[in-house]
Amino acid sequence: MATTPKPRSTAAGADPTTPHDRFEGDYRPASPTPSATEPVSNVSARLEPLQIDFLLRLADALNTTLDLNTLMHRVADLVRAVIDYRIFAILLLNDKTNELRMRFQTGHTPEAERMRIKIGHGIVGQAALQRKSMLIDDVKKDENYINIHDDVMSELAVPLVVKNKVIGIIDIQSEHVGFFTQEHRRLLELTASRMGVAIENARLYTRVSRQAQTLTVLSEISREISSILDLDDLLERVGQVLKRVVDFQMFSILLWDDRTQHLEHRFSSRYGERVVREHAVALGYGIIGTAAETRQPVLAPDVRKDPHYIAVNREVRSELAVPLIYKGKVIGVIDLEHTRVNYFNEDHQRTLTTLAAQLSVSIVNARLYQRISEEEQRMERDLEMAREVQLRLLPSEPPQPAHAEIAAKFLAARSIGGDVYDFLDYGHGRTALAIGDVSGKAAPAALYAALVSGILRSLATRQLSPGKMLAALNNQLQERKLDAQYVTMLMAVWDDENQTLQIANAGSVQPVFVTNTNCDDPADRVVKTIEAEGFPLGLFPDAEYEEFTFSTQPGDMIVFFSDGIVDAENAEHEMFGTDRLDHVLQQQPCPTAESTVEAILKAVTDFQAGTDHFDDETVVVLRVI
């Protein structure tokens, strides 16, 4: 019997004039032929409404979701409405392994779900290989059938084709012989023709969403690890946060050691627990060494088949190693391992490569910080030693003449400073006082101050007058001249028998003379500056210095101080100045040399109110008794 079939557009439930009449992977025949035993009128009356309604519901199912799991569940429910199956599966193709695996199933055993089917194997493998649907009335008679379910008698497998490429299979099985009809076949082919594109769209959406999420996480990770400057803390944190984007089982970071010329294990963990791995890795040795030598990521889907793999851990099946490169130099390797074959993929490789770039910078910064920290600690130790040496250069106790009391105190603005003072015994009741301030701060100033102190001590045996002592010291510094280095100094000689004081000044702060410091009325006390001047030492050769001699009375007091006292600033950048110093000296009740030193330093500290001391502070007081 011959008959003219309905147009395909009518069977598909679509307008033949629309541009979307042709679909990728559409397996409908160009001229469908009804069964010879079935009346033509029955075919037209039964199939056309079913296909139209099925296509409408299929389009709704496919077009209203981009979630792959939801998509497969909806298709499975839709197919069940027209084909009363009990065993159903959607298998997707893994391009790298060329294997089909179940992505969605119902009615299969867990063992069947875990199977991987090669292209060409079994009925589903043949459907994928031949790129056409396979309807098997009795699977027991088919040589390609893989028996994974003893009760299965018939099977219908339809390939999912997108852009002329098989991406998967829709597979239905029945416990009855000859259960599936040509109508079932056509309906499943209709489903497959639309579903392939929907799956690819869902995969693309999932991939883009995952990439966006991964980039967001990587951005958060980069911000976090860039703020960690302790190398051990950094590597441990990387192992923790990396779990958010790659679910590894074993993790290691190896860093290159220039001394040993090997990659040394710096951090390793297994199943979330930190472990110690001590063996070093040479360039080109194993997967890790290969990644470092080639400066390229190495992805081993199955380490047993990789010629570079060294069997250190026999549980490992897949491995991913990515070099850490900074300014073209390999500084280490980050390595991930898993017990599952084909676990790591190209997405993992891209993610780890992106993270490795930021991690390399963070490691270099952490190492630099570590070196700076170690250098600072070494410098602190050196400065502390220098401070001890400097304090040893200062006199431990001031001399105590019979008719005068002397007190002194030095406060360095930093750990060590450039102020220097000394007391020299001239014999016959005479004591020389030297108060100096070296240009500059910290270690250079302290070293120059040590030089000045040494020369001063070497000249002390000559018992020179203040002016001649300054001139001799200046000549000695000229022989050891350093560019832009000089020292201001005030020299005085106290004669305890005559109670006189000789003073000469080489650019230092002018001292203060205070009369009547007994416990009488402070209003009768007089504070005046000793007008002594001169050139700083070490700047000009053959300099001469003028001397001043003062006769004193009991209760008189001479105050020597460095510029760190009067130049001290508070938070408003106001200077302490000579007026405030004069006020402190004027208002002291019953002052002694010691109490005067403490009063001056306390007044300066209170004035600065917690601000940093920018200069050394030295005070020496001689009070006649």
Q: Helices (DSSP H) in 8-39: which residue ranges?
A: 8-12
pLDDT tens, 377-391?
888 787 777 777 777
59 vs 173: which has the higher pLDDT: 173
> Which are the contacts of 466, defined by CB distance < 8 A and separation ≥ 6?
432, 491, 492, 493, 502, 503, 504, 545, 547
**What was the pLDDT predicted at 415?**
60
**What was the pLDDT predicted at 208?**
82
pLDDT tens, 31-50?
444 443 343 333 333 345 55
Average pLDDT over residues 599-605: 95
Q: Which of 154, 189, 227, 183 is nearest to 38 (CA)?
A: 183
Q: Which of 241, 147, 160 is nearest to 202 (CA)?
A: 160
β-pairing, 617-624 vs 526-529, is unpaired
pLDDT tens, 394-421?
888 899 999 999 999 988 776 666 788 9
Percent of the chain residues topping a pLDDT of 90: 54
- pLDDT classification of 51: cutoffs 50, 70, 90: low
CA 146 to the chain's CA centroid: 54
Q: Which of 167, 168, 166, 124 is nearest to 145 (CA)?
A: 124
Is the C-alpha dihedral spanning 585, 588, 594, 598 positive or negative? negative
**Res 597 pLDDT > 50:** yes
- pLDDT classification of 562: cutoffs 50, 70, 90: very high
pLDDT tens, 121-171?
999 999 999 999 999 999 999 999 998 888 899 999 999 999 889 999 999
pLDDT tens, 82-116?
888 989 999 999 987 889 999 999 999 888 888 99
